[in-house]
Amino acid sequence: MPTRSFVALFVSLFACACSSAPPFDAKAVATEWAAYMQRDYVLRAGDRLAVRVDNLSSGEGTVADNVQEVIVSPTGTVDLRRLPGPLQVAGKSVGAARTLIYEAYKNGVFEDPIVSVTLTEAATQSIYVCGEVFRAGPVPFTPGLTMTQAIAAAGSFNYTVKHSDIRILRINADGSQRTFRVNLEKVLLDQSPDFLLLPGDVVYAQTSTIADLGNLVDLYIRRLLPFSLGGPSLGRVE
């Protein structure tokens, strides 16, 4: 009976390893990436802004006095001079934030304000690499970052990786999740385009089928025996 159980585990694991999501649509991914890059920047906590407010009706103050350097707080707000309270700007485009600040100054502060808002430094955005890589963790996002570049930044692959089935997890705006499958072997042979990443993406490098089987042997067979089988494990090498 134990032997049958182990055989069933092997068969189940092998079947799971062979199943995979459909290959990603390179054109659709590139279109989504282009749309993201072309949209108006959405402010978030940690962004640094330069806010300039000029009052044409008074002509008072110098240009330096009219420019305020502010950082969006962890709660998404900014505090500006002469306003009674903080303004919620996180989640708004730069243009929408400018309109919000304009209305705040116009209502009781200046009669005829001119407001400009400039993003001087964006908060750090990251993608995340995990699985069969040497240094799993966050990688700073830069426009144009690809899957292979992110993996290289994570120290490259462990030898137990499944090159033909790298997964990309992406959270949609509505909170739902999508998973893409990328065949790294085809990317490296110039048979498939590399995957363009967006902030928040998770790159998961799966273990190969033989490594999964080796881990199963190590966990469910080798450690249960009262004697040593000898030889190295087929799983991850630390």
- At residue 108, the pLDDT reads 74
Please report, for the chain, the start and end positions of each structural domain, with discontinuous segments joined by +: 14-38+125-224, 48-121
Q: What's the sign of the alpha-carbon dihedral 131, 126, 190, 178?
A: positive
Q: What is the pTM of this model?
A: 0.63
Note the pLDDT of residue 185.
86
Topology match between the domains 14-38+125-224 and 48-121: no
Please report the pLDDT score of residue 60 as a whole number: 52
Q: CB burial class (10 A; 0-12, 13-18, 19+) of residue 75?
A: exposed
In this prediction, residue 68 carries a pLDDT of 92
Query: In the CATH hierarchy, which fold is given to the domain comprising 48-121?
Result: wza like fold (3.30.1950)
Q: What is the pLDDT of residue 235?
A: 45
Q: So what CATH class is 14-38+125-224?
A: alpha beta
Tokens 């001087």, residue? 120
Residues of the chain with pLDDT under 50: 1-3, 6-7, 9-11, 13-14, 17-18, 61-64, 211, 233-238
For residue 40, the model assigns a pLDDT of 81
